[in-house]
């Protein structure tokens, strides 16, 4: 346990030294407020770039607060995931590639602690950042459009955060099993993309699929009701997270760390 805390503290210290504690939350906040602001000020923005050509009619129906907030979810689903994957893909692969892992793993360090401490640190940063981003989006949407019930907001956050946790677990997995950080990032992004494709293609069959967590979060916001299949999906996502983490440790143990 002491060793796990030591490893975790090192991760947190590193995130402070490379400013991740500053830029990741701030970026996520920007992602959150982007859509409420641009949507609200769209007419002025169009005006300021010269307005519409003569005869064109502005016929953009004012979107609802819920629609705007769901647009923000879309930003995290694309840019947010991209940032998470790119900034975390080196967490283990980078240490092996540089060679510093040789110094650490030759100490009596438990492989489980090594992997889970990194996972915990990354998850802490990402979940806090995501929450701040969500909160900012919720507030801006509320001020500019209409406040969404906080309960629905929190439920949607919980559902989506679980999906992000699964993506993050995948990054840790690829980072532990592939030697090159870039390869780890690429494989994670492709995997997430393919699963999302499959998930939406077979969406009527895969009600419990973790890829449905984003649609369920949106549904939660629209209807203010906990979606029917949200529990199986969260259960599935939690099981997958644990399985992937376990697999990460097993493979990492066998993997030869020297070269």
Partner 1 sequence: MEIFETVNWSLLAPILVIQAILLIVALVDLIKIEKTNGPKWIWAIVILLINIIGPILYFVVGRRNH
Partner 2 sequence: MALVRVENLVKSFKDLKVIKGLNFELEPGKCIALIGANGAGKTTTLKMLSGLLEPTHGSIHFEGENKDADHRRLIGYLPQHPVFYEWMTAREFLEYAGKLSGLNSREAKERSNELLELVGIDDAKNRRIGKFSGGMKQRLGIAQAIIHRPKLIMLDEPVSALDPFGRREVLELLEKLKQEATVLFSTHILNDAEEVCESILFLHDGEIIESGTMDQFREKYQQSKIDLVFQGRANDYLKSLNNDPKVISIKIEGNKASVFTSDIEEVKSTILNKAVKENWPLFKYEISSISLEDVFMKVVQK
In the complex with partner 2, the residue whose CB is nearer, 93 or 170, is 93
As measured in angstroms, the least distance from the Cβ of 144 to partner 1 is 7
Contacts of 10 (CB under 8 A, 6+ apart): 117
Interface with partner 1 (CB under 8 A), residue from 87, 129, 137, 211? 87
27 binds, among partner 1, partner 2, none (CB under 5 to 8 A by kind): partner 1
Distances, alpha carbon 54 to alpha carbons 41, 47, 50, 71, in Å: 21, 12, 11, 30
Q: Give the sign of the dihedral formed by CA 86, CA 28, CA 233, CA 122.
A: positive
Reduced to 3 DSSP states, what percent helix, strand and coil does the chain have, rounded to the nearest 5? 80, 0, 20
Enumerate binding residues for partner 2 (CB under 8 A): 2-3, 6-7, 10, 13-14, 17-18, 98-100, 102-109, 256-258
256 binds, among partner 1, partner 2, none (CB under 5 to 8 A by kind): partner 2
87 binds, among partner 2, partner 1, none (CB under 5 to 8 A by kind): partner 1
In the complex with partner 2, the residue whose CB is nearer, 20 or 212, is 20
Q: Which residue from 179, 19, 5 is spatially nearest to 101, judged by alpha carbons?
A: 179
Q: By rule CB under 8 A, what string of x and - marks binding of each residue 16-55 to partner 1?
A: --xxx-xx--xx-xx--x---x---x--xx-xx-------
d(CA 112, CA 251): 11
Q: Which residue from 199, 123, 120, 191 is spatially nearest to 161, judged by alpha carbons?
A: 123
Are 176 and 248 a contacting pair, CB within 8 Å?
yes
Binding site for partner 1 (CB under 8 A): 18-20, 22-23, 26-27, 29-30, 33, 37, 41, 44-45, 47-48, 83, 86-87, 90, 94-95, 98, 100, 140, 143-144
């Amino acid at each position: 346990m002491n060793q796990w805390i030591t490893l975790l503290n090192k991760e947190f210290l590193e995130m402070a030294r490379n400013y991740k504690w500053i830029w990741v939350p701030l970026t996520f906040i920007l992602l959150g407020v982007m859509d409420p602001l641009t949507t609200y000020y769209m007419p002025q923005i169009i005006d300021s770039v010269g307005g519409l050509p003569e005869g064109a009619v502005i016929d953009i129906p004012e979107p609802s607060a819920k629609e705007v907030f769901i647009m923000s979810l879309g930003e995290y689903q694309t840019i947010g995931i991209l940032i998470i994957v790119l900034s975390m893909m080196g967490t283990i692969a980078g240490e092996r590639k540089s060679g510093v892992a040789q110094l650490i793993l030759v100490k009596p360090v438990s492989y489980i602690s090594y992997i889970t401490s990194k996972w915990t640190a990354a998850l802490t940063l990402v979940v806090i950042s995501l929450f701040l981003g969500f909160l900012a989006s919720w507030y801006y949407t509320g001020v500019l459009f209409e406040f969404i019930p906080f309960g629905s907001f929190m439920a949607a956050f919980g559902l989506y955060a679980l999906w992000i946790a699964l993506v993050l677990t995948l990054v840790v997995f690829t980072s532990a099993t592939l030697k090159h950080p870039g390869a780890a990032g690429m494989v994670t992004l492709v995997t997430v993309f393919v699963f999302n494709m499959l998930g939406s293609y077979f969406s009527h069959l895969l009600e419990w699929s973790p890829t449905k967590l984003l649609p369920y979060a949106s549904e939660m916001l629209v209807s203010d009701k906990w979606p029917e299949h949200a529990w199986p999906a969260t259960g599935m996502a939690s099981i997958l997270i644990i399985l992937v983490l376990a697999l990460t440790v097993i493979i990492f143990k066998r993997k030869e760390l020297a070269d």
